[in-house]
A and B are shown apart, each in its own frame.
Chain A
């Protein structure tokens, strides 16, 4: 389960940002997780519950935005249907992942004095 190590990396980044702003607490952490990123949102949520204890994120909410996988042709930009071969049936070019691979820290909401 790599979600725990991902969450540790996330917390370090959030704590760094909170310190830079002199924050009293973190209220919300927003992340974007793609369907083809290899990260399970539920496991990320469980990891957050463990990792945040005793930190500035103790009472923070974790908002996970799931991003659906979207493939398109790298040549003609035709969107591909789910489950289709990843090669464009129109022009033969390989498909490229347009969305769904992301593992992103989007925004955080801080309580500042």
Chain B
């Protein structure tokens, strides 16, 4: 009943919520993050346009870390397991998430994949997101770092056109640098664009094809692995109870 006049009509109340719309995803991401920390896993969210060279970088990384560190991958694509198959062929156990029409991975999809046999026991876990320079940046997955692949063929102004993705990036891998002689693309211009969208730009120029520049990327991974996992390499899988 109306409290003003007692007329019996319904009345309006305003409820203050002030909550992130993605709070459910944030909680799932927090859960993943706790799991990674508890098991000494370095989880990286690898994003970039379709064809930016994400899978090729991972193939090269798999070869470099073979026998040294257990690497696994979760790959997201709208359809097919092609990326996961490529990674398995390169020696990385990989679990594919086919998202159907969804343009990004979310934290609960990743959580689900973590229970899969193929990614258990990894110390270095790559989450290769759906090829897309917009949507994946919106969803926290529980990763330690966001790594964005940007191919030189995408043009110098991509960072300025897609600032949200690069704002969230901890590291940018400018890929396919072996193609630079054939393009009118200046690395200095890419750097300058990144400085306007990333507060602390960290950028490595690499070619997965020739291997050029990959040592710096591997060095960065080694450094982060040391920080995340410490000297002890052994840890169990993703086994725990859920609320």
Contact = CB atoms under 8 A, between A and B. Distances in A.
Task: Name the residue in A24, A39, A74, A83 with the highest tally of chain B Cβ atoms < 10 Å from its Cβ.
Answer: A39
Given A86-B197, A107-B16, A110-B14, 5 more contacts: A12-B24, A21-B15, A38-B138, A87-B195, A112-B12
A6 B106 CA distance: 11
A5 interface: yes
Give the secondary structure class of B's interface.
mixed
B104 interface: yes
B10 A104 contact: no
B197 A17 contact: no
7 contacts: A2-B104, A17-B15, A17-B17, A85-B195, A86-B197, A86-B199, A109-B14
B13 A109 contact: yes
Interface in A59-113: 71, 74, 83-87, 94-97, 101-113
B112 to A, nearest CB: 16
A36 interface: yes
A106 B22 contact: no
A113 B195 contact: no
A49 B138 CA distance: 22
Nearest to B195: A85
A1 B138 CA distance: 11
B21 interface: yes
Instruction: Sort chain A's interface into a size bin.
Output: 35 or more
Contacts of A85: 195-196
Contacts of A5: 102, 106
Given A38-B134, A38-B164, A86-B198, A113 B10 contact: yes
Interface string A1-33: 110011001101100010001001001000100
Nearest to B134: A38
B223 interface: no
Contacts of B149: none
Contacts of A87: 195, 199-200
Contacts of B11: 111-112
B164 A109 contact: no
A1 B54 CA distance: 21
A86 B102 CA distance: 32
A57 B106 CA distance: 26
A9 B167 contact: no
Contact of B13 (A38, A74, A103, A112): A112
Contacts of A108: 14-15, 17
Given A36-B164, A110-B12, A31 B196 contact: no
B164 A94 contact: no
B82 to A, nearest CB: 23
Contact of B21 (A10, A36, A84): A10
Contacts of A112: 10-13
Contacts of A55: none
A38 B114 CA distance: 27
Interface string B179-219: 00000000000000001111110000000000000000000
B23 to A, nearest CB: 8
Nearest to A111: B10
B60 interface: no
